[in-house]
Amino acid sequence: GIPIRTTLDNSATIPYASLLHQLTMKTRSIVRDIDPLDDLTFLRIRSKKHEIMVASDKDYFLIVIQNPCE
Amino acid sequence: VGHPEIFPLVFTTKTQDIFNCRADEDVTEENCFKLIKKEDIIQDLKTRDAISDFHPVKKIVLEYPGEELLVVFDAKFQYGQNFYLVASEEAKENLLKPPETAEEEKEKEEKGEETLEVHPYKPPVHKPWVSLGSEKEVEEESVKEAVPKIKYMISRVRRKFGAPITFTDRNASHVEDSYVECTPYQDKSFSIKMLEKDLGIQMVPKLREASTQTKWTYPKNAATQYFPRQLSNEEKEESLSSKKLKEFLTSVHLRMEIALQQNEIMNAFFDDWKALAEDERSSAGKPYVYLKAYQSFTNLHYLKNRTISCICWHPTIYGIIAVSARGQLSHEEQVNLSDKSLLHQSFIAFWSFSDPLHPQLMLECPEDIYCFQFSPSDPNIIAGGCINGQVVLWDISQHEEKLQNAKTVAEENEVTAVNMVNASVPNILQYIYLSVGENGTELPLVRYCAVSSIQYSHKKTVTDIHWLSDYLEENRMGANAENRPETCVQLITCSPDCSILFWDIPATRLPQQSSSEKTKEDIFHMPPDVPDTSKHLDLCWKPLTKINLHKSAINRDGPTRICLREMHYHYKTSEKVKSLNLLELLNKESPYTETSPSSSKNPKVLESISIDFFVGTEDGDIVYSVWKVDIDSFAAKPVSQKHTQKYTIHSEAINTLQKSPFFKNIILSIGGQNFAIWKEGVTNGPVHQSSCSAGRNTAGQWSLTRPGVFFIGRDDGNIDIWDLTKKTYKPSHLQSISESMITFISPWIGSPMQHFLGVSDDLGVLHVLEICPMLSYPLTNEYANVLDYFEREAKYLKHCEQEFKEYQEFQSK
């Protein structure tokens, strides 16, 4: 994925964009394999340090990275 | 046979007579040649014809080309007869000649052998085949038909051709004599042994097919370099404004908002199990002993009638504590310095865990040390403040190794321990200079390497000494430069004579010098292991700058403790002047340029330094003020009167003023019968204040690991452990450590498992206690909770103040 607009610095944006793009594609294919009429709307990844949220569409996707409250 | 030109002849006696070749008369064995004319032979043949001896060779004679024929007498019957005829001229010549040639050759050989006969090369002459009887063998072996073949012709009678035929069967064995049998039988008389058998053998090699396949892989380096695709700015702009993106955002926006809200409401990462476990640990199983006695250090000789004034743990080496001892003098005596006995030698002793009876190292001091500190950047430099106001500096880099290997010395010293205790030597001075023990282990005594000049030092006891770290830099814009780990080179001291002095370390005292000659310690003279370069600084060391609190009307009595809040260096950027350090500017002789930290980016000129600090006084006042030191005028003055605050909470002199290691703006002050916790910025009063207790609090420190725990020592030898997370109105635990007053407390983290607390008392004993895990490891969220508590208290204070104001206003109406 090519980032269009970002609030992070460049070195952080590019890995997020490319890796999450691949993951989103994979997830979408999983969802559609199970039920062809279904489609991926939202993807949330929770890790120790952050929560990553991805909202996806046909052409674009929006990534939000959040720190969880202590 | 053999030679075709030789024909054997039989000569009768008559013939011999005719031709005059009678055997043994005319021709002998030696002289066997006889030449007979051809005409004679022909005539003989004509006359006697058939009976002539020459008859068989008649033809040859007639064909003979020459005139004379050679007849040779064959005495030995070489060719079968007594005479033979030589049929050719050539042979005749050969026969006649060779004996001569042979004789000639022999003669030649006898005469001279120098002449070599060169035989010209004669190619091999084709000779006719001479039969040697092999054609006979071939004839015998070849197979020929020996018997002529017999032919039989059988035919039927003509008239029977074409007639109908009837075939019948007839068994041959029924009719007798219808056939003749010839059965084989073994003939006993017949025996032929097969001697030879012809066999044919053919050799065929064994054929086998085999194949291998090899895989030849050789390592090959392959690399790819890639960079991510990026859109140009115009493309980005285009995409951003496109309709599709707008649609996408509107559709997605709601989902994202829901998710974010969920996160805000609840923390999904919260681990309930873990939180449960934490509470379990704190409530169940209270440790019986909170501070476990680990070790005690004392020495009857050095520390007799002494009290320990300050404890410092060695920053890097595990298990080394330094204590400074001073005389147990009452307050009045302390003031009167002339009462000091000459035998009273002052020192700082280094203890190691491995040896509780003998100190590892002794630092010689000119006077009793009231307080001292290890330099944070180099643990080998120690600065101490004396009772008479001087500041002393030591360098123990030569003994660093010894301190690190302190464990090995313990066993050796045990033998001498008995001797030490039993001996009674009143002259302490002498003892310090004598070596300890017969094993040759010496107690090293390190002389101070720099002491300040009496004229410029404090007039009263140096009560507090701190090293300044040089990291906080601020330029005019207010942006913070990055923290650089720098060598600490500046000291700040305060004293009850109402002055605060700034000192810098003499440049020659830097660690690079420590590798100078290590001469053997000569115990009867002053040990020369102190680098010579610093000798000139003895009694010449001057402070950099001085803050005279006397000028301010607020302070009447001198400060006993100082707690530095922040130091800001204000620079003025200029191109010409190179970057500087505080010291360089003020002490121009100091050759500090090589080692001083230089901010390489912008050459700056130091304009002024602003310092905010808390000061605790002898009277129990806490003063907070902001001072500004102008470099040019070399005078320090308070920034503004407004900023100076004074609080009178304590009844006696402040003995502890310490910043919390966790919170930058929380300070603990201990003095007299109560203690207080202050938060910077809160000017109405302390955030936490304890009630007056029966006894006096004499020492105290924050815990290094738990934000809400601190230890307070009392004059009855107890230690109060305060845990703000549990109870804020009284100590959570009391423990009795010693009989006499606690003079100093110092916590230390020896290892992640071992947390120590060094406690010294009035009798000169240093107790090292191990802090139980409950007091060592912070609870989850303890930091947040304690911070919360302080904030709440601050708010409450503010609220109280406001209420008070309102009340006053109300009252005035």
Least confident residue range of B376-390, B547-561, B674-688: B547-561
Of B239, B255, B268, nearest to A4 by CB-CB distance is: B239
Cα(B268)–Cα(B478) distance, integer angstroms: 39
* B53 has a pLDDT exceeding 80: no
Chain A contact present for B228, CB below 8 A: yes
Residue A19 in domain: yes
Residue A3 in domain: no
List CB contacts of B99: < 8 A, sequence separation 6 or more. Answer: none
Cα(B722)–Cα(B701) distance, integer angstroms: 11
Residue B80 in domain: yes
Handedness of CA B684, B690, B693, B695 (dihedral sign): negative
Least confident residue range of B47-61, B288-302, B604-618: B604-618
Residue A26 in domain: yes
The reported pTM is 0.54
pLDDT of residue A22: 92
Q: Where are the beta strands (DSSP E) in B131-231?
A: none
CB contact under 8 A, B256 and A62: yes
pLDDT of residue B782: 84
Chain A contact present for B275, CB below 8 A: no
pLDDT tens column, B129-178: 888 888 888 888 888 888 888 999 988 888 878 888 888 887 877 777 77
List CB contacts of B590: < 8 A, sequence separation 6 or more. Answer: B504, B506, B507, B583, B584
Q: Name the residue type at position B776.
A: S
Of B229, B230, B245, nearest to A60 by CB-CB distance is: B245
CB contact under 8 A, A69 and B263: yes
Residue B430 in domain: no
Under the banding of pLDDT at 50, 70 and 90, the label for residue A24 is very high
pLDDT of residue B683: 77
CB contact under 8 A, A69 and B228: no
**Residue A34: C-alpha distances to residues A31, B150, B399 (Å):** 5, 105, 74
pLDDT of residue B293: 80
Residue A62 in domain: yes
Smallest CA-to-CA distance from B22 within B80, B77, B78, B83 is with: B83
Query: Phi first, then psi: what are they for B24, rounded to 5°?
Result: 65, 10
pLDDT tens column, B506-555: 654 444 333 222 222 222 223 333 443 344 445 566 666 666 665 454 45
Which region holds residue B18: left if phi is over 0, alpha if psi is between -120 and 50, else beta? alpha
Neighbour count for residue B151 (Cβ, 10 Å)? 5
Tell me the average pLDDT across B437-452.
64
Residue B72 in domain: yes
**Which DSSP string do the residues of B272-341 spell out, in sequence order?**
HHHHHHHHHHHHSS--S-SEEEEEEE--TTTTTTEEEEEEEE-SSSTTEEEEEEEE---HHHHH-GGG--
Question: How many distinct structural domains can be found in chain B?
Answer: 1
Which residues constitute the domain of residue B38? 6-96
The SS3 assignment for B677 reads: strand
pLDDT of residue B509: 44
The SS3 assignment for B135 reads: helix
Domain CATH code at residue A58:
3.30.450.30
The answer to whether residues B613 and B625 touch, using CB atoms and an 8 Å cutoff, is yes
Cα(B355)–Cα(B414) distance, integer angstroms: 8
Residue B633 in domain: no
Residue A1 in domain: no
pLDDT of residue B472: 41
Question: How many distinct structural domains can be found in chain A?
Answer: 1
Which region holds residue B133: left if phi is over 0, alpha if psi is between -120 and 50, else beta? left
Tell me the average pLDDT across B99-127.
64
Residue B52 in domain: yes
pLDDT tens column, A39-53: 888 898 988 788 899
The answer to whether residues B323 and B351 touch, using CB atoms and an 8 Å cutoff, is yes
Neighbour count for residue B412 (Cβ, 10 Å)? 14
Tell me the average pLDDT across B639-647.
60
Both structure tokens of B674 = 């109560």
Q: Euclidean distance between the first and final Cα of chain B, in Å?
A: 185
Residue whose pair of structure tokens reads 């000129």 in the numeric block: B605
Least confident residue range of B27-41, B328-342, B494-508, B722-736: B328-342
Which residues constitute the domain of residue A60? 10-66
List CB contacts of B623: < 8 A, sequence separation 6 or more. Answer: B549, B554, B555, B559, B614, B615, B616, B617, B644, B645, B646, B647
pLDDT of residue B568: 61
Least confident residue range of B111-115, B119-123, B293-297, B780-784: B111-115
The answer to whether residues B316 and B379 touch, using CB atoms and an 8 Å cutoff, is yes
pLDDT of residue B520: 28
Q: Where are the beta strands (DSSP E) in B30-146?
A: 33-37, 68-73, 83-86
Residue B792 in domain: no
The answer to whether residues B760 and B296 touch, using CB atoms and an 8 Å cutoff, is no
Chain A contact present for B231, CB below 8 A: yes
From the centroid of its chain, how far is CA B108?
Answer: 100
pLDDT tens column, B743-768: 888 888 888 888 888 888 888 888 88
CB contact under 8 A, A53 and B248: no
The answer to whether residues B94 and B62 touch, using CB atoms and an 8 Å cutoff, is no
Cα angle, residue B461 at apex, residues B455 and B466 outer, rounded to 5°: 95
Neighbour count for residue B489 (Cβ, 10 Å)? 28
pLDDT of residue B592: 33
Cα(B249)–Cα(B243) distance, integer angstroms: 10
Cα(B575)–Cα(B581) distance, integer angstroms: 16
Tell me the average pLDDT across A51-62.
87
Residue B551 in domain: no
- Taking a contact as any Cβ pair under 8 Å apart, which residues of chain B between 30 and 69 contact chain A? none
Tell me the average pLDDT across B218-244.
84
